[in-house]
Amino acid sequence: MTTIGFVRHGVTAWNKEGRAQGSTDVPLDEEGIQMAKRAAQRMQFEEWDVIYTSPLIRAKKTAEIIAENHSGVDFIQDKRLGEIGGGLIEGTTEDERIAKWGLDWRNQDIGFEPEDDIISRGMSFIEEVKQKHLGKRVLVVSHGGFISRLLYALVPNGEFSRDIGNTSVSIVELNDQGNSCHLFNCMKHLEVKEVQ
């Protein structure tokens, strides 16, 4: 049994503005860095055998902050973990998309990465992880759109929201008899605790 923990990157200015990021390399903002630090605190006593990250700076920085508490653990960038390519919508808000392409913009050919390609690269990564890290605990820092699609591919009968929160943690157990998701979109580390 191999365990994979998925973490979405911290928040960015574009997230707050509702701008599609896709493969555009947008950095974490200050709040995003603080969110990553809280995720790192949450995970500091968990054992992870390897950390993989998307090379996009918002995910890579989140992974680096988490990795600070896991010295000696391999840290690997993998371009297959990048966010879904958004084509012409990258950098635009919903209002801008409607103004440019109309209400039906999602159904137009504006350069989205095909679903089959997204799943193909995600499952290629998973198969490699199963071979290289059988029975290990693998942490993956990536992007909301990519993680949500990969979760559906790994656990087809799961009831998951497509909305993955910033720095949320989801944990999947990979088994030959069938995969299972033991934690989905958990953000308890972001809950504000009042000082007594």
- Residue in 91, 78, 80 with CA at minimum distance from that of residue 21: 91
Q: Which residues are catalytic?
A: 9, 83
Is 13 known to sit in a ligand binding site? yes
Q: Which amino acid is at 43?
A: M
Is 67 known to sit in a ligand binding site? no
Is 15 known to sit in a ligand binding site? yes
Is 48 known to sit in a ligand binding site? no
Is 70 known to sit in a ligand binding site? no
135 Rama class: left (phi>0) / alpha (psi -120 to 50) / beta: left
Is 149 known to sit in a ligand binding site? no
- For 78, list phi and psi in degrees, rounded to 5: -140, 115
- Residue in 176, 80, 82, 88 with CA at minimum distance from that of residue 128: 80
Is 9 known to sit in a ligand binding site? yes
Report the greatest alpha carbon distance in the chain: 55
Q: Which residues are annotated as a binding site?
A: 8-15, 58
Q: Which residues are annotated as a binding site for substrate?
A: 8-15, 58
